[in-house]
């Protein structure tokens, strides 16, 4: 139940677990119908060598991990509040939050509650952009263009890279692969 999930988040927040056992990136989305768009965030983190942590502490060997939850700002506001409020104590460094529709409030509300943990917002559709980015002065959010969850996860990794050389190296490696890919495409244009 939602209450069980909230209890779990609060218990994890109180556990004072060592940083190497806690998830680094949180991926949340307003509905499982957002998943096809949010898959890009998983793809980017997988390409960067992050491991998915499906249960707290179940990936102790992975140096960098992410977790993911469906959290609805409108259907489960109490869960959204608990997720944002416990984010820092649970060891998250950055959150990628996606929502769709015209009332795409999960990213912006989570950014308010989790502050100063940065939230990278993903408008799941074009019509969600204003809702995600339209924050008042003093309530910051960083956001990508509609559907660009892959970029959101790269931005999340950039946040981690300021403190972790291994993540920086992986980001540079991925960029080099993309550069090589562009060159390969050019070479094949007139084949």
Number of residues assigned to the chain: 191
Give, in degrees to the nearest 5, the angle at Cα 167 between 169 and 18.
145
- Note whether 12 binds ligand RP5 by CB under 6 A: no
75 is known to lie in a ligand binding site: yes
Q: Which H or E element spans position 68?
A: strand 65-70
- Note whether 110 binds ligand RP5 by CB under 6 A: no
Q: Which stretch binds ligand RP5 (CB under 6 A): 29-37, 51-59, 110-118, 146-154?
A: 29-37
Separation CA 22–CA 126 (nearest Å): 33
Beta strands in 72-153 (DSSP E): 94-99, 119-123, 142-143
* Closer to ligand RP5 by Cβ: residue 48 or 146: 146
Among 14, 33, 130, 176, binds ligand RP5 (CB under 6 A): 33
Site track for ligand RP5 across 58-97, x = CB under 6 A: --------------x-------------------------
Separation CA 81–CA 73 (nearest Å): 9
* Closer to ligand RP5 by Cβ: residue 72 or 151: 72
């Amino acid at each position: 139940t939602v209450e069980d999930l909230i209890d779990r988040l609060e218990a994890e927040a109180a556990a004072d677990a060592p940083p190497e056992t806690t998830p680094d990136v949180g991926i949340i989305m307003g509905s499982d119908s957002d998943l096809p768009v949010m898959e890009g965030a998983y793809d980017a983190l997988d390409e960067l060598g992050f491991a998915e942590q499906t249960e707290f502490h179940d990936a102790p060997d992975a140096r960098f991990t992410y977790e993911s939850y469906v959290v609805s700002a409108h259907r489960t506001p109490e869960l959204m509040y608990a997720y944002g409020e416990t984010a820092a104590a649970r060891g998250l460094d950055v959150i990628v939050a996606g929502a769709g529709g015209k009332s795409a409030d999960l990213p912006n509300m989570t950014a308010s509650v989790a502050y100063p943990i940065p939230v990278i917002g993903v408008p799941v559709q074009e019509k969600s952009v204003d809702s995600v980015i339209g924050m008042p002065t003093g309530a910051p959010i960083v956001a990508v263009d509609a559907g660009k969850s892959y970029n959101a996860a790269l931005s999340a990794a950039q946040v981690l890279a300021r403190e972790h050389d291994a993540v920086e190296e992986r980001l540079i490696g991925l960029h080099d692969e993309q550069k090589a890919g562009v060159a390969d495409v050019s070479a094949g244009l007139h084949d």
